[in-house]
Amino acid sequence: MGRYRELCPFFRARADLEKPPSYSKLALSFKAESTSYDPGLHDKLAAQFEQDFPGLFLHQLQSQDLSDDLTFSLDLLRSRLQYEGVISAYSNNGISLAASSGLNDVTLRERPGARSPAHKAYCSSIAVVSAVVSALRRHHFFDAEACEFVQLYGKQIVRALSWSVSDPITLPLLDEIEQVVNLFYALAESAPPTAYPNPVVVKVLRVSTTYALTLLQQLNYALMHPNHIASLLEPVTAE
């Protein structure tokens, strides 16, 4: 019995060492606040992927070999996103032509006051690209693809950043400006160190700086003249 007691800690420690790396990393995540298994965890994670990474599914992140080292790996996530072409999918779709020409209006001419579904989809695509770049920062492939995305929709992006105090203000326009600014912030944060600059990223950020400073001047003037800015606000609904 004494020998058994001496070996118990050894066997428990050995059992812990033999657990798959993926289990060790996510063991706590499978516990709810009451320390019981949370059956809704899988559905929540699947819903989050559907929202942030359309076209990417949980089974695509499963282990690809017996070592289990790839499961829940950031490198695997990068390779999967690269293979699936998450960013490039937003560069070739039904709204690409209008957006690349800078003609994606915030409202529909046929329905004054109603937001254009194409404009909403465009803003959502910018948000997804920003999220991917932020999550997988300092990855040259995604930086390059994101810059191609910016260059493709350059006219639409410049149109948003060219807002002035003489232009009307709508919620869809503010949404577009916010998403564009977030995209450039994500690119700047994920840019490689200055010792190893990416020429494409540097060029895109340098051009964006000029428009960002101009927009900042306009916003500064608007904040200092609240009565003027109030006259530019357009109603959310026709009523």
Question: Binning pLDDT at 50, 70 and 90, where does residue 146 land?
Answer: confident
Joined tokens for residue 18: 């033999």
Does residue 117 register a pLDDT over 70? yes
What are the extents of the domains in the chain? 69-239
Question: Binning pLDDT at 50, 70 and 90, where does residue 141 land?
Answer: low
pLDDT more than 70, % of the chain: 61
Distances, alpha carbon 197 to alpha carbons 105, 147, 203, in Å: 35, 14, 10
Asked whether 58 and 42 are in contact (CB, 8 A), the reply is yes
Distances, alpha carbon 71 to alpha carbons 26, 52, 58, 80, in Å: 11, 19, 11, 12
pLDDT at 236: 65
Question: Binning pLDDT at 50, 70 and 90, where does residue 59 land?
Answer: low
Question: Residue 233, SS3?
Answer: strand
pLDDT at 179: 94
For residue 148, what are the contacts with CB-CB under 8 A and spacing of at least 6? 91
